[in-house]
Amino acid sequence: MEIIQQLWQSSGFALLGWKELVMILVSFVLFYLAISKKFEPLLLVPIAFGILLANLPGADLMADPAGLFGGVAQEGAHWYDTGVLRLIYAGVKSSIFPCLIFLGIGAMTDFGPLLANPVSLLLGAAAQLGIYVAFIIALFLGFTPEEAASIGIIGGADGPTAILLTGQLADHLLAPIAVAAYSYMALIPIIQPKIMKLLTTDKERKVEMKQLRSVSKTEKIIFPIIVLVICALLIPSCASLIGMLMLGNLFKECGVTDRLSDTAQNALTNIVTILLGLTVGATANGDAFLSPDTILIIVLGLIAFSCSTAGGVLFGKLLYIVTGGKINPLIGAAGVSAVPMAARVAQVEGRKYNPTNFLLMHAMGPNVAGVIGSAVAAGFLLMMFGK
């Protein structure tokens, strides 16, 4: 009888608290959204599984007995006693995973539309407005500047950038920020059209843009090198993200590293996505996740995202006026860096008002500019608040 009692007491059922139970239910909801509703499934499935694993009591997959990650070291504990997910989490904490994801993104990105229309870069910059609006509101709500910066970066709509910055500045908020960032990216087709419609007139939405100029291969090869040099010299803290993004793009464009480009686009990105999603999810333990901060982060994320979209559209309207009606302001909304979802939304919305309109390639310019813009914004915030 005593043995059975001991067995029960050491089992997960006896150790299960209400917070763990709620987190397990949260993981089920995320599984449903990812599998049934197909909301960013490549990331939400590993994140949900990470949440499930980390909240199974007694499994200690995120244990840090040796104090390697800032915890109190127990006597006689070795590094290899550390929970397996905590060890993998080193890839997030050290920024290796977000940087490798950026390498893959670079290898998948065609900067041609951006090179053909460099004004797109300004739209990509304007669509970072939400980062700073959310930063200020978060400060009002009592978050520290480091936490506020991490929350604000959700407005960049760039998952790896949000994870990198939060991992550096406020890693205790990593799970809610990652979940909010990826959830809103999946909800772009629902969030953006309303803001686009609200801020533009019928006439503006119908604007047909001129065909993009042709871009030479040489331009595409030299572009990543120029961008890296300019960005890294002006804001050195963004060199890791921009550097990897541009390296990936150089693999793609130079034409002599097809194998490297293929690996960066497929195998490497897939492996890192699994590890990144799993460990980010595993940081969502009940104590950290079930707090007022999480609810506020979800709300602030939506504000950040909406303001970024509005910033891009409003700058698009400015360009519409300056260019005498040659730029369709809808492409400004694609300045948030969720590639290529935001560009597709601009295309779909544009065609609703003018069925002969084809905005996709024009929207891809601000879209990829947004990736650079959010990395620069993250670099700036890292420079201001990083240790």
Applying CB under 8 A, the span of 141-149, 177-185, 198-206, 260-268 interacting with another protein comes to 141-149
**Distance of alpha carbon 246 from alpha carbon 235, whole angstroms:** 15
> Applying CB under 8 A, does 126 fall inside the site for another protein?
yes
> Applying CB under 8 A, does 356 fall inside the site for another protein?
yes
Looking at 66, 296, 299, 314, which residue binds another protein (CB under 8 A)? 296
Q: Could you give the string, one character per residue 30-69, with x where binding to another protein holds by CB under 8 A and - elsewhere?
A: ----------------------------------------
Nearer to another protein, 142 or 189 (CB): 142
Distances (CA, A) of 218 to 14, 103, 222, 244: 65, 21, 6, 20
> Applying CB under 8 A, does 173 fall inside the site for another protein?
no
> Applying CB under 8 A, does 80 fall inside the site for another protein?
no
Closest distance to another protein from the beta carbon of 256 (Å): 17
Nearby residues of 25 by Cβ (< 8 Å), 6 or more positions away: none
Distances (CA, A) of 27 to 19, 157, 187, 302: 12, 22, 18, 21
CA 340 to chain centre: 13
Nearer to another protein, 65 or 366 (CB): 366
> Applying CB under 8 A, does 351 fall inside the site for another protein?
yes
Looking at 2, 4, 202, 218, which residue binds another protein (CB under 8 A)? 218
**Distance of alpha carbon 277 from alpha carbon 175, whole angstroms:** 10
Applying CB under 8 A, the span of 25-33, 75-83, 90-98, 214-222 interacting with another protein comes to 214-222
Please give the torsion angle defined by the CA atoms of residues 14, 18, 20 and 26, in that order, rounded to the nearest 10 degrees.
140
**Distance of alpha carbon 54 from alpha carbon 62, whole angstroms:** 6
Looking at 29, 35, 73, 230, which residue binds another protein (CB under 8 A)? 230
Looking at 5, 9, 201, 211, which residue binds another protein (CB under 8 A)? 211
**Distance of alpha carbon 163 from alpha carbon 150, whole angstroms:** 9
Estimate the crossing angle of helix 18-31 against helix 41-54, to 10 degrees. Answer: 160
> Applying CB under 8 A, does 306 fall inside the site for another protein?
no
Amino acid identity, residue 355?
P
**Distance of alpha carbon 279 from alpha carbon 89, whole angstroms:** 5
Looking at 33, 179, 195, 361, which residue binds another protein (CB under 8 A)? 361
Number of residues counted as binding another protein (CB under 8 A):
66
Give φ, ψ of 42 to 5 degrees.
-60, -25
Looking at 222, 232, 254, 274, which residue binds another protein (CB under 8 A)? 222
> Applying CB under 8 A, does 135 fall inside the site for another protein?
yes
Give φ, ψ of 17 to 5 degrees.
-100, 175
Looking at 214, 256, 324, 387, which residue binds another protein (CB under 8 A)? 214
Binding to another protein (CB under 8 A) within 102-121 occurs at 110, 112-116, 118-119, 121
Handedness of CA 34, 291, 387, 81 (dihedral sign): negative
Please give the torsion angle defined by the CA atoms of residues 137, 139, 142 and 146, in that order, rounded to the nearest 10 degrees.
130
Nearer to another protein, 155 or 281 (CB): 155
Q: Which residues bind to another protein, rule: CB under 8 A?
A: 17-19, 110, 112-116, 118-119, 121-122, 124-126, 128-129, 131-132, 135-136, 139-142, 145, 148, 211-219, 222-223, 226-227, 230-231, 234-235, 290-292, 295-296, 347, 351, 356-358, 360-361, 364, 369, 372-373, 376-377, 380-381, 384
